[in-house]
Amino acid sequence: MENLKGLLEHIILGLIDKECIKSINMEIDGKKVVYKVEAVSGSTGRLIGKNGTTATAIRQVMQAVGAKENIIVDVYFA
């Protein structure tokens, strides 16, 4: 699970500065892991992208890596 969080942080840091990240919280419910990413207001838009394309791509990468470990992964941005 920690390698998933590390991957998510790596992807996010490629898009925004570390100072713009408020928190990355992880909730575990059985085989489901939910990440909640909070960033400063201006940077949230960069994470979501135009029409949500960047957010969708981040979710797809995280789901693919989670599938290898039989884990359901979801990512929310705030």
Domains and CATH numbers, the chain: 2-77 (3.30.300.20)
pLDDT at 41: 84
Tens-place pLDDT, residues 4-59: 999 999 999 999 998 999 999 999 999 999 999 999 988 899 999 999 999 999 99
pTM for the predicted model, two decimal places: 0.90
Can you tell me the distance from the alpha carbon of 25 to that of 38, in angstroms, rounded to the nearest whole number? 8
- Please give the Cα distance from 49 to 67 (Å, whole number): 24
Angle, helices 53-68/41-48, rounded to nearest 10 degrees: 70
Return d(Cα 7, Cα 29) in angstroms, integer: 20
